[in-house]
């Protein structure tokens, strides 16, 4: 019996070490899941705000009497590259888009041309002006850039830029 002194202590310390490692691993996993949930929530809020900003800009395009000059040249008609780095409103970048602050984000409108037959089957005899509407929202570490092509009557196309 005297030869077993301390064996229980060593076995108990080993079990305690294993439990500590298991608890540490569980805490790291919980912290990682919390960060992922926070990132997903920031992305969702950013997307919802960008959709709101896009709708605000589209409402402006649909306002009776809305007009703006057609973009000059191919480079000015491309999707604005500064949308991926934009941090404040105002004019800027190669596109020459005037960025307007709205609902926690920014939007820019470009008159990209005209068509007699916009997507969706409207083949009326009149010409339809086409506008590219770009909305940018930054929420936390998440940036959302949405674009739509719009006539003065309706949205023709929508996409999210990556």
Q: Which of 147, 58, 141 is nearest to 95 (CA)?
A: 147
Query: What are the domain boundaries of the chain?
Result: 12-161
Residue reference for tokens 């010409």: 127
**pLDDT for the residue numbered 97:** 86
**pLDDT for the residue numbered 104:** 86
**pLDDT for the residue numbered 2:** 59
How many CB atoms are located within 10 Å of the residue 57 CB? Answer: 25
Q: What is the pTM of this model?
A: 0.77
State pLDDT tens for residues 89-141: 777 676 788 899 888 899 999 999 888 877 766 566 678 889 999 999 998 88
State pLDDT tens for residues 41-68: 999 999 999 999 999 999 999 999 888 8
Give the pairing type, strands 90-91 and 128-139.
unpaired
């Amino acid at each position: 019996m005297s030869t077993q002194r301390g064996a229980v202590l060593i076995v108990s310390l080993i079990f305690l070490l294993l439990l500590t490692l298991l608890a540490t691993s569980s805490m790291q996993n919980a912290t990682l899941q919390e960060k992922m949930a926070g990132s997903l929530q920031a992305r969702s809020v950013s997307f919802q705000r960008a959709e709101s900003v896009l709708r605000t800009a589209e409402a402006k395009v649909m306002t009776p009497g809305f007009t703006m000059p057609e973009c000059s040249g191919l480079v000015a008609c491309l999707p604005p590259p500064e949308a991926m780095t934009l941090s404040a409103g105002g004019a800027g970048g190669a596109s020459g888009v005037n960025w307007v602050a709205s609902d926690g984000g920014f939007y820019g409108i470009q008159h990209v041309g005209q068509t007699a037959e916009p997507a969706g089957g409207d083949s009326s005899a009149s010409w339809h002006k086409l506008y590219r509407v770009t909305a940018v929202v930054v929420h936390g570490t998440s940036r959302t850039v949405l674009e739509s092509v719009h006539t003065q009557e309706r949205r023709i196309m929508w996409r999210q830029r990556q």
